Structure 1
Amino acid sequence: MLNNNAVDIPQTYPRIGDSAPHFEAETTHGHLSLEDFKGRWLVLFSHPMDFTPVCTSEFIAFAKNADTFEKMGAALLGLSIDSVFSHIAWVRNVKEKFGVSIPFPIIADMDGHIANLYGMVMPGDLSTATSRCLFVIDPNAIIRATIYYPFTTGRNIQEVIRLVAALQVCDENAVGTPADWQPGDPVIQYPPRTQDDAEQVIGEDDGCMDWYYCTRKL
């Protein structure tokens, strides 16, 4: 018997700390899957549509910083629900009109499978397109950070670079990074977990404002 009082259970999407959902897709660089990026950091980001001004500005900004991501061991991978032919035409247009080559692949997700898998479609924003979603995926295919922007607003690519750098520093040194941290700035040490350790911290380190807030240079 049908339960007339039943409610729809919302679909769950990947969150920080989850394994990144597997995908295989046609891209402007051929057939690719999540496995192709294993062992590297991956910045997977969606855009609403090809041949739109805000998206074009973002792709130009990502392209101009592609070498920086490469030096950090991070790959870039774009996505929208446009066809691979549309992507190719758009990439060629950006090269012709702006003099900028897009060096990273773009997924053609025409059926929206990957977009829905990652929660990139926001019906309240623009129901027929992917929003500006970004996932930072680590070398073990774990989602480490997510950023969502509305259709109207372009992303800050320097913040994405800062975010990836901060995650790498935290992983390599078992530390945290404070607000507005930039590479080379002091990092935050994890606070002590016992009262005795907290007492020992006080007065022992010039970088400690109090037992729970200590910074140090790497």
Structure 2
Amino acid sequence: MYRKEFYVFDQDKPVKAVIRNYKKEDFNKLIQIQSESFPPPFPAELWWNEKQLENHVTLFPEGALCIEINGEMAGSMTGLIVDFNPEHPNHTWEEITDGGYIRHHDPNGNTLYVVDICVRPSFRKFGLGKWLMLSMYDVVIHLNIDRLLGGGRMPGYHKKADNMTAEQYVEAVVNGTVKDPVLTFLLRCSRTPIGIIPNYLEDEESCHFAALMEWKNPFRNEK
């Protein structure tokens, strides 16, 4: 099981943080985090439900992480293992995560796939999303698999879609001429775009596209 204790900073003040595997007794708090992070008009039925969370801690507890600040639950990140073929990258979030239920988690797969990352709005000044991401890299290394992968939303793309393809938009974010709330964050976390997926989610801000973004395990040899 995973547990990491360290300090984050509120300006110049150190604040104790813990990243650990979440458990059944955390479910109510995890659902509360979802409700704060995705308030109405976001539909409540798309927040985590207890059956999904039960599957996370049962099927792949190593990929069920949460972060606490001074003992208070502040965010979570969830993944599953899949066998990813880079030559056939197209998929939807629904297909690859089983709608968040992760019932096709493959312990023998080569890729840790990000299902979700979520931080309560009142805790976002601490940079907790990056700490959760770095901790999931630890899981990749511990399991000795090839990569961490996930589809990154492109919420700024709808503002540029009349003048740019999705590929051009991602290239502009990488070049630093455009800043995107999600893609720029993922770049700061060492994720690298390796392709564009159409119809990844029902996501009007991203025009239904996602950037497939990878972090490679540096201890794995190239094949």
State the TM-score bracket (shorter-chain normalisation): under 0.3
Greater fraction strand: 2
Larger radius of gyration: 1
